[in-house]
């Protein structure tokens, strides 16, 4: 059910469209993934391959008990952390106290003093955000992006040989095919998806100012740099060695810009689809019960494409702010990144809404082949490019100027074009080729792509 009091449309009107993101970017999710980092660190310290060997080690059953603090983390657990935070006024410290509370009265209580051992809150938070982002990209955003690409590819395959008048600068230009133009978007999207998939999500785990000060004070003989690297990589993240107190967010900024690039391609796609609908190259399916205009009953508006473009602008605004500002932090740290990071999910949510709206809008579109053919037939002057190129081949130095005089700013007929070709001094082979040429077949390699 929609929350009619929601301040944000992603928690109101569009809530169902982004439900799958709540497992990764909600307040509940952030708390849960902080619990994950805390318990995994405790297991790293005292587990089967323990870093600290001067204490009793965890049993396999105890490791499982700690893992269950994350695996079975509940809404009630999250609310308890928030309750503790009401007193501590510190969100990460509240997670530490929650874990201590959960193991009190059990055999695990002997490790209570080592919960959050040698950590600064950023050690926990940056890794939590890293794992959350990795999961959200791989399980939600990238699959959604691929769905859009696959929908467009499927239609491109069906329309690969359907000729269409191209438009450059809004003017009639050399013909193309519907399928080829759709594949342009699919390839562009695919390139960005590959960049997102292969982007490094980095993490730091080196204490209050990145020097392992506290670690060495307690255990000076341990290679904490290597321990940190192993721990970060065990979470599926890329270890970053030299930092201040915070993970510098450079790679997150890169990922934000990749998402923004994908959004911009989707914006371009929606803009073209909107234009093709307005030109009647595509019509839209009439959905029973839907209303296009409150006063004009005939209308079927391209609302999904327009909605998608609006959500892209919101997504890009949020993601752009993150990309531009997260890598900037005064001295060894300030807290601005902490507040900003809470909006990563907001930017991605609006991107997902835009993708889903694009898919809905695209699936409503029906190709009007007769309109495409008529438009091609009404613009035979586009053959001027082919004719002047063949004239150049045959030694006409002023080929371009000849065709310019014939066609520029003029509406001519296919008959007058053929009449003109008949006057040219060309080989029989070239003349026959040009006489047989029509806008419908003048599509180059478009249908082969």
**Active site members:** 169, 293
> How far apart are the C-alpha atoms of 189 and 63, rounded to whole Å?
43
DSSP run (H or E) holding 171: strand 171-177
> How far apart are the C-alpha atoms of 284 and 361, rounded to whole Å?
8
C-alpha to C-alpha distances, 259 to 147, 307, 347, nearest whole angstrom: 16, 18, 9
User: Which residues neighbour 122 within 8 Å (Cβ) at sequence distance 6 or greater?
Assistant: 204, 245, 246, 247, 333
The rounded radius of gyration (Å) of the Cα atoms in the chain is 31
> How far apart are the C-alpha atoms of 86 and 22, rounded to whole Å?
23
Q: Which residues of 421-433 are buried (b: 16+ CB within 10 A; e: fewer)?
A: beebebeeebbee
Q: How many DSSP H helices and E strands does the chain contain?
A: 19, 6
Max Cα-Cα span within the chain: 101
Q: Could you write out the DSSP letters of every residue in 190-215?
A: HHHHHHHHH---EE----TTSS-HHH
CB-based contact 337:125 (threshold 8 Å): no
CB-based contact 264:257 (threshold 8 Å): no
């Amino acid at each position: 059910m929609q929350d009619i009091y929601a301040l944000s449309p992603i928690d109101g009107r569009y809530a169902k469209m982004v439900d799958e993101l709540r497992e990764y970017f909600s307040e509940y999710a952030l708390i849960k993934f902080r619990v994950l980092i805390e318990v995994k660190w405790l297991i790293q310290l005292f587990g089967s391959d323990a870093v600290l060997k001067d204490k009793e080690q965890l049993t396999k059953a105890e490791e499982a008990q700690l893992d269950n603090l994350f695996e079975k983390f509940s809404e009630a657990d999250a609310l308890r952390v928030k309750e503790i935070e009401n007193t501590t006024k510190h969100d990460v410290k509240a997670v530490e106290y929650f874990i201590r509370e959960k193991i009190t009265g059990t055999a695990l209580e002997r490790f209570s003093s080592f919960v959050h051992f040698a950590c600064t809150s950023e050690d926990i938070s940056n890794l939590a955000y890293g794992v959350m982002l990795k999961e959200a990209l791989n399980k939600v955003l990238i699959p959604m992006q691929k769905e859009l690409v696959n929908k467009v590819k499927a239609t491109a395959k069906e329309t690969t040989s359907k000729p269409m008048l191209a438009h450059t600068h809004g003017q009639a230009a050399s013909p193309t095919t519907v399928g080829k133009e759709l594949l342009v978007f699919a390839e562009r999207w695919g390139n960005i998806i590959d960049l997102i998939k292969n982007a490094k999500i980095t993490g730091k785990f080196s204490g209050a100012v990145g020097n392992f000060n506290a670690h060495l004070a307690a255990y000076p003989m341990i290679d904490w740099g290597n321990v940190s690297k192993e721990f970060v990589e065990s979470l599926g993240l890329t270890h970053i060695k030299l930092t201040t107190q915070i993970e510098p967010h450079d790679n997150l900024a890169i990922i934000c810009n990749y998402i923004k690039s994908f959004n911009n391609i989707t914006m371009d796609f929606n803009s073209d689809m909107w234009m093709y609908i307005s030109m009647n190259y595509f019509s839209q399916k009439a959905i029973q019960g839907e209303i296009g205009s409150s006063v004009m009953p005939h209308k079927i508006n391209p609302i999904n494409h327009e909605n998608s473009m609006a959500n892209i602008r919101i997504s890009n605004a949020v993601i752009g702010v993150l990309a531009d500002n997260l890598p900037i932090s005064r001295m060894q740290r300030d807290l601005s990144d902490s507040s900003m990071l809470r909006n990563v999910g907001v930017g991605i949510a609006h991107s997902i809404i835009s993708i889903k709206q694009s898919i809905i809008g695209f699936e409503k579109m029906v190709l009007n082949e007769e309109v495409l053919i008529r438009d091609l037939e009404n613009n035979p002057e586009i053959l001027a490019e082919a004719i002047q190129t063949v004239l150049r081949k045959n030694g006409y130095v002023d080929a371009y100027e000849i065709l310019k005089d014939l066609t520029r700013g003029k509406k001519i007929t296919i008959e007058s074009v053929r009449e003109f070709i008949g006057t040219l001094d060309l080989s029989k082979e070239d003349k026959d080729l040009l006489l047989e040429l029509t806008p419908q077949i003048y599509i180059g390699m478009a249908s082969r792509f």
